[in-house]
Amino acid sequence: MHWRPSADRREEEAVAKRLRASSKFYRFLWEIREDLFDESFEKLLTECYAPRGQAPCPPAMLAMVMLLQRYDGVGDADAVDAAENDRRWQLVLGTLGTASAPFGQGSLVRFRTRMIAHDLDKRLVERTIELAKRTKKFGWQRLRVALDSSPLDGAGRVEDTWNLIGRAMSKVVHLTAAALELDESEVIRAARLDALSEDSVKASLDIDWDDEEAKHEALNRLVAQVERLDTWVSRRAKSHAAKSPLKEALALMHHVVGQDTEPDPGGGGGVRITQGVARERVISISDTQMRHGRKSKSVRIDGYKRHITVANGFILSTAVEPANVREHEPTERLLAEAASHGEIETLDIDRGYLASPAVIRLHRAGVTINSRAWSVSNHGRFTKDDFAIDLAAKTVTCPAGKSAPITQGLQSFFDAKDCSRCPLKSKCTTSEKRSLTLHEAEDLLIELRARRRTRRGRRELRKRVVVEHRLARLSAIQGDRARYRGVRKNELDTNRAAAIANLHVLAGFRASA
């Protein structure tokens, strides 16, 4: 369905002219709406969105509403209100003078679902780049691309072991009661779930939380009630337990118990709190895709990381991952999406991305990689930086001048006799195995270490600041707390924020023209 603004063009021009400077971005959106949602993009949107049960709203208009929502930071209900009462929104949507919004909250929910299903949010970012290429202010044949990430706090409540188990149990009780058409209190009574008798599990257990023995006994009481609930559901709601959503709720309950408890080695049976933290530990029942992670040693993340690639001051692609996913894991698709806009000539990255095979392939294809090499700390002893590595000759020479060949396994073994009488032995490894192991990308690491020792190399490293500025701009638009639950919904939110960031750059070009 084609988006045909219903307002009179002269009336729109009069409203646009009266907008204050603080509202100039709305005017820009009004000016470029037909270019952004051109015929081919409108056709794609229409093919992927088929509204049901109501008068259809043009999908291109709904896509513009998505941008306005993110720009103003409003939810679906407020978006409907703005479409009815904010003349700036009406100007952009072409609905000046209408008494009601041409869409409802349900339309926005369904449209986001279709956008995600067909990756149209990514296509929206691509459209902003296509508009940028028309400016002729940059060359797009050869690109200097930069990658970086920032934390995105999850929208779900982060909870400890006790409350995770309790909320998982409550979810199973709720779904079981609904399936059997019972009151939840009946399920709690029948399954003898004393832990769910109060507003919180900790209140129900009612123990001295400084008493380790009491905590141990309470944990085993709680796990026993999980087992009782599982048995009761399998007996009374077996057919429902094999189907969604109860099936997934039961699996989640078992998962949170298994991730945080282990058999008690003290004897007598029972369980204790697991020593250490499982890598895939669920930290929220309301958003099970959230994870604990780190941006640095001092900064913990409870939720997600958002990644962006930047070139010519524009965001080319984004990715959102659980916070425990390492930086290099989404690098392959980020770079593939960036490369669709032009050939990558230079890549500026943080060292967290170095482990990606895509980075290694680019380096060997002649792309200049700018990054700090991984740092090595050896408590005052020699590190790999102190050894002369000659990949062409396949030899490694130690600080004392002794050489060893590089094996097929990328290792060099030094003669133990030479090491035993070496005057530098006290600064070398304490291991009996006198060897040095090389990385598969050692050629890249050698180049990075050498480049950092030069003034020019350090100057090139500082050019990565452009992606940090784009991340800061993205954060200002999107915020640092997730609006939605789940990876893909938050990636959609990041993509529309990226589209707005790119349109801001284009608006600046137009203002300075």
Amino acid at 120: L
Adjacent-strand bridge partners of 308: 148, 318
Average pLDDT over residues 432-448: 90
Query: Which amino acid makes up residue 355?
Result: A
Amino acid symbol at 232? W
Mean pLDDT over residues 418-427, rounded?
88
pTM exceeds 0.85, yes or no:
yes
Contact status, residue 133 vs residue 314, Cβ threshold 8 Å = no
Using the CB atoms, write b or e for 244-273: b if 16+ within 10 Å. eebeebbebbebbbebbbeeeeeeeebbbe
Mean per-residue pLDDT over the chain, rounded: 92
Amino acid at position 68, single letter? L
Of the segments 41-55, 395-409, 427-441, which one has the largest average pLDDT value? Answer: 395-409
Whether the per-residue pLDDT at 513 is higher than 70: the answer is: no
Buried b (16+ CB within 10 A) or exposed e, 498-508: bbbbbbbbbbe
* CB-neighbour burial class of residue 351 (10 A; exposed 0-12, middle 13-18, buried 19+): middle
Whether 55 shows a pLDDT value over 60: the answer reads no
Q: What is the mean pLDDT of residues 239-244?
A: 95
Question: Quick one: pLDDT band at residue 51, thresholds 50, 70, 90?
Answer: low
Residue that is written with structure tokens 């806009």 in the block: 341
Res 52: pLDDT:
59
Pick the more confident residue, 474 or 7: 474
Radius of gyration (C-alpha) of the chain in whole angstroms: 29
Statement: residue 417 has pLDDT above 90: no
- Asked if residue 460 has pLDDT above 70, the reply is yes
Taking residues 47-53, report their average pLDDT. 72
Sign of the torsion formed by the C-alpha atoms of 254, 257, 263 and 267: negative
pLDDT given for residue 6 in this prediction: 73
What are the angstrom distances between the C-alpha of 128 and each of 33, 46, 189, 370?
Answer: 11, 19, 58, 27
| 300-341 pLDDT tens trace | 899 999 999 999 999 999 999 999 999 999 999 999 999 999
The DSSP secondary-structure symbol of 484 reads S
Residue 71 has pLDDT above 90, yes or no: yes
Contact 276, 120 (CB under 8 A): no
Which SS3 state, helix, strand or coil, does residue 326 take? coil
Strand-pair partners of 396: 389, 404
Closest CA to 445 of 360, 381, 379, 383: 360
Would you say residue 53 has pLDDT above 60? no
Could you tell me if 260 and 281 are in contact, meaning their C-beta atoms sit under 8 angstroms apart?
A: yes
| Residue 79, SS3 per DSSP | helix
**Considering only CA atoms, which of 152, 156, 132 is closest in space to residue 143?**
132
Task: Give per-residue pLDDT as tens, 102-148.
Answer: 999 999 999 999 999 999 999 999 999 999 999 888 889 999 999 99
Q: What is the mean pLDDT of residues 156-160?
A: 93
Phi, psi angle pair for 252, to nearest 5°: -65, -40
∠ at Cα 320 (121, 126), nearest 5°?
A: 30
Which tens digits make up the pLDDT trace of 161-184?
999 999 999 999 999 999 999 999
- Residue-wise pLDDT for 343-377, tens only, equals 999 999 999 999 999 999 999 999 999 999 988 77
Task: List the chain domain ranges.
Answer: 9-118, 161-273
Tell me the pLDDT band of 29, cut-offs 50, 70 and 90: very high
Residue 49 binned pLDDT confidence (cut-offs 50, 70, 90): confident
Contacts of residue 124, Cβ cutoff 8 Å, sequence gap at least 6: 63, 67, 495, 496, 499
Distance CA(303)–CA(156), nearest Å, equals 8
